[in-house]
Chains A and B, each alone.
Chain A
Amino acid sequence: IAGITQAPTSQILAAGRRMTLRCTQDMRHNAMYWYRQDLGLGLRLIHYSNTAGTTGKGEVPDGYSVSRANTDDFPLTLASAVPSQTSVYFCASKPEGGLLGDYGYTFGSGTRLTVV
């Protein structure tokens, strides 16, 4: 089934540890995104990538890094986790343009991360 796969589904992480959240899509979408969702703050963009080899910063990039070595994968790394990074993380992708003109975003199922 075409879509976005995120791993892990959930994780409890000790503060100061390094963690990589994985995101893979099989739709050949050029653009990919990482959002975090927090109660009362909604969904906020962390980083994005318009195409393989390029990345950009979103609203809340501090403490996070990304890479885009190929079209399908867009991992998000927390170099040294802090409790304020406790959140639900969503990966998303968007096509250049679909056959039916659907340029909409598709979201993964999310990773629930707790930093203690």
Chain B
Amino acid sequence: GIQVEQSPPDLILQEGANSTLRCNFSDSVNNLQWFHQNPWGQLINLFYIPSGTKQNGRLSATTVATERYSLLYISSSQTTDSGVYFCAVERGGSEKLVFGKGTKLTVNP
């Protein structure tokens, strides 16, 4: 099956710092999403981005489908950004969203 690798596994930042999270995937996909799982366990959809670039406030994401990777950028990080960030992909006809192991982000005040 398709493999999804995220890096780094852990990231500790001071409030105000910027960061880049990476997601590599092993096959072509028709769906790629970034999720934030907050400390309360909720999975929040950040971006649906099978290709191209999107921005939402301090967050932006870029997927280069031909090279099979996606990047999530967090600028001016805040303590509320803490949690685990998951990349998830779906191949056409697979009926399954495959998750990476996540990047655990801790933003300290």
A residues adjacent to B (C-beta < 8 A): 31, 33, 42-43, 45, 48, 50, 56, 58-59, 88, 90, 92, 102-107, 109-110, 112
B99 at the interface (CB under 8 A from A): yes
Closest to A49 in B: B95
Question: Which residues of A lie under 8 Å from residue B31 when comparing CB positions?
Answer: 103-105
Measured CB to CB, the nearest residue on chain B to A102 is B48
Of the stretches B7-15, B39-47, B56-64, B72-80, the one at the interface is B39-47
Q: Give B29-54 as 1s and 0s: 1 = Cβ < 8 Å from A's Cβ atoms.
A: 01101010000011101001000000
Q: Given A104-B45, A109-B42, A110-B41, does the pair A58, B97 have CB atoms closer than 8 Å? A: no
- Complex Cα distance, B53 from A89, in Å, reads 31
Bound state CA distance, A110 and B40, in angstroms? Answer: 10
Chain A hits for B95, CB < 8 A: 31, 48, 50, 56
B99 touches A107 (CB 8 A): no
Give, as a whole number of angstroms, the nearest-CB distance from B34 to chain A: 10
Interface residue count on the B side (C-beta < 8 Å): 18
Measured in the bound complex, the distance between the Cα atoms of B83 and A60 in whole Å is: 26
Query: Could you say which of B41, B86, B96 contacts A45, with CB atoms under 8 Å apart?
Result: B96
Find chain B residues with CB under 8 A from A110 CB.
41-43
In the complex, whether B68 has a CB less than 8 A from a CB of chain A is no
Contact with A along B92-109 (1 / 0, CB 8 A): 000111011110000000
The 10 A-B residue pairs whose C-beta atoms are closest, nearest first, are: A104-B48, A107-B43, A43-B99, A102-B48, A42-B99, A45-B96, A104-B33, A109-B42, A48-B95, A110-B41
Which A residues lie within 8 Å of B99 (CB)? 42-43
The reply to whether B45 and A103 contact each other, CB–CB distance below 8 Å, is no
Complexed CA–CA distance, A56 and B33 (Å): 22
- Within 3-25 of B, Cβ neighbours of A (below 8 Å) are at none
Bound CA span A45–B2, Å = 14
**Closest residue of A by beta carbon distance from B40:** A109
Residues of B close to A88: CB separation below 8 A: 41
* A103 with B43: CB separation less than 8 A: no
Cα distance, A110 to B38, chains bound together (Å):
12
